[in-house]
Structures are given as structure tokens and as C-alpha cells.
Amino acid sequence: MSIQADIIEQIEKFKTIIIHRHEDPDPDAFGSQAGLAEVIRNCFPDKNVYQVGENNASLEWITTEDKIDDKVYDGALVIVIDTANTPRIDDQRYKKGAFLIKIDHHPNDDAYGDLTWVKTDASSSSELIIDLVNNSNGKLVLNKKAAEALYAGIIGDTGRFMFNNTSAHTLRVTAQLFEFGIDAAWMNRKLDEITPGIAKLSAYVWDNMTITEHHAAYIVLKHDLIKNYKLGAAGTAPIVSVLGKIDTVKCWTLFVQEEDGTYRLNIRSKGPIINGLAKEYGGGGHPLASGAKMDTLTDEQLKEYVAKLDKIAATYTGEDND
């Protein structure tokens, strides 16, 4: 039996299904989570299906989460989606269920779960949910609500079909979503819109960034500065792509200081492979889009990191690949 058939067998078997995703959720985390939840609710109205984790005000147009008691986990199936490693699972109660399934498209460095389905060439976890539906022999069926969530996930992770993770298959399954009359233009606009605070912070980033000799770029955004723009660390997500808009920049990093003083690193690239660097700093992710955390960021630590990023840019011989 295929892994997808195994997953569907487990979905059929359990009365209660709880779906988790990663912390700091992005549109694909929310979209794949809500898309799967909606598909199961659509086809198995007698099951109790919950999606858990923190809400994010700016992404509530995709979905909002359920609040559940610990006892709901007794005898439940837990599905964790779009989350490479267990520390990043939003809501660590994921361990309390009776059976655990991992569905993901990130490199499978931490193959947790009783069943693990990881496909790294999928554009997004949302794409995987459509594959699961298409391979379910009609046991799972999409509806408009699921299609909307999954579309949000796909355009989130592909940068509205701009990144090289967009395949012919991505476009084919996306076409399926259009059959449900989703308002794709509205969702594209929602993802592209920025607040005045983000606009001003973007201007700050362009004004104050550093571009190294070999075309790696970086900027450090301290918590106090972010607060001046009336944003929290989580609100800076739309800034991540800003440095990459510069034609000469090959790879870049945003150091974003959290309220507790630690740093979140958003690491991106147009071609040079940067997930090895992310791993070196205890993080991970995709070859061209990764993240990591640092407890402190001294001048020395910054210098050392930037030298490594610059070396990655310097040794890259391929074409830009974004």
C-alpha cells in the first residue's frame, strides 16, 4: 500500500483528528492545515476535526484555530503538517495522541511520526494535500473552503508562482482549485499588500542594509527599532523578500530580534544553497529559503556569520535561480 493510502486508512479509522503545523505560521502552514481539516470535515462529517496553534491576525483571512482541552488528545489521530522538526511544532501536545503522522515538503532531517510522508520536490504542503485528495480513490474530496485555504498556501510558498519550486504539477493542481470559483485575484492581492509600517520599515532596510563584496546582503533589525514601526518580530515577515529585490544580491539574511532579546534569522537565496548554513546555526529549511535562531548576536558573531554567507555567494557558479 502506498504511504498516501496508509494515511487515508488512519484518517478513516480515527473519530478525532487533530492537525498541527509549525510555529510562526506562514500561509502554507495555515493553508495546508486548514485545507486538510476542511477536506476531512467535508467527507467525514461525523468525525471531530480540530486545527490547533496560535492565530496570526494578519493571516486570519486564511483560517483561525481551535482551542481544545488536553483530554481531546486521548485516543486521537494527530497529523503534523509542514513542520520539519519536532521543536518547531506549534503546541507540543502533539505527542499526546494515539497515532502521529508527519506530512511535509521540507528536508526530512527529523523523521518523526508513526507514519511519515515527505516530498521535498512539492512546492508546498498545500500541494501535497491536493495530491492526497487525488490519490484517495474518492475518499477525500475538495470543496470551495478547502480550495481557498490550499490556494493561499500554494501562492504563499511559491511567491505567487515566482520561485523555482513552482512545477508543471503545481500549476496543474492549482488549476483544480480554480474549478471551485475561488477568488484568486483577491488572495493574491491580500498576500501582496503591506501596511504603512511595513512600507516604512522596507525603506529603512533599503537605506541601512549591507551588501558584501560577493553580493550577499544582510540587515539587523533590533527589537526597539521594530517596535518604533509598531510591529512585532512576527510582523516582519513581509520584509524578508525586500533585500532580494536588489538585482545584484544573490543571497541574504534578515536578523530579527525578538522581544526576549534572541534573534530569528530569515535566510534566502536566488541560487547559492543556504540551508547548510542554517543547519550550522541549529536551524534548517529549503535550499533557497531557510531559517535559524541565535540567542545572542555580538559584533564578532555577526562578522563570522556574514563571512560565511559571503563565501557561499562567492563560490556560487550557477545562474540566478529565483
List residues binding ligand AMP (CB under 6 A): 22, 24, 26, 84-85, 88, 106, 266, 283-286, 289-293
Dihedral of the alpha carbons of 150, 41, 107, 156, in degrees to the nearest 10? 20
CB nearer ligand AMP, residue 120 or residue 143: 120
Shorter beta-carbon distance to ligand AMP: residue 41 or 159? 159
For ligand AMP, the closer CB: 63 or 85: 85
Phi and psi angles of residue 72, each rounded to the nearest 5 degrees, phi first: -65, -25
Which among 136, 181, 179, 173 is positioned nearest to 155, based on CA atoms? 173
Closest contact distance (angstroms) between CB of 195 and ligand AMP is 18
Looking at beta carbons only, is 136 or 257 nearer to ligand AMP? 257
Nearer of residues 244 and 283 to ligand AMP, judged by Cβ: 283
- In which residue are the cell numbers 462529517 written? 45
At residue 62, φ and ψ (nearest 5 deg) are -90, -55
**Of all helices (H) and strands (E), which one includes residue 129?**
helix 125-134
Min dist CB 29 to ligand AMP, Å, is 8
Residue 246 CB neighbours (<10 A): 14
Could you tell me the smallest distance in angstroms from the CB atom of residue 157 to ligand AMP?
8
Neighbouring C-beta atoms of residue 273, cutoff 10 Å: 16
CB-count exposure of residue 165 (10 Å: 0-12, 13-18, 19+): buried
User: For ligand AMP, which residue has the nearest CB?
Assistant: 291
How far apart are CB 154 and ligand AMP at their closest, in Å?
Answer: 15
Owner of C-alpha cell 487525488: 134
Q: How far is the CB of 49 from ligand AMP (least distance, A)?
A: 24
For 74, list phi and psi in degrees, rounded to 5. -60, 120
CB of 268 to ligand AMP, least distance (A): 7
Which lies closer to ligand AMP via its Cβ, residue 19 or residue 84?
84
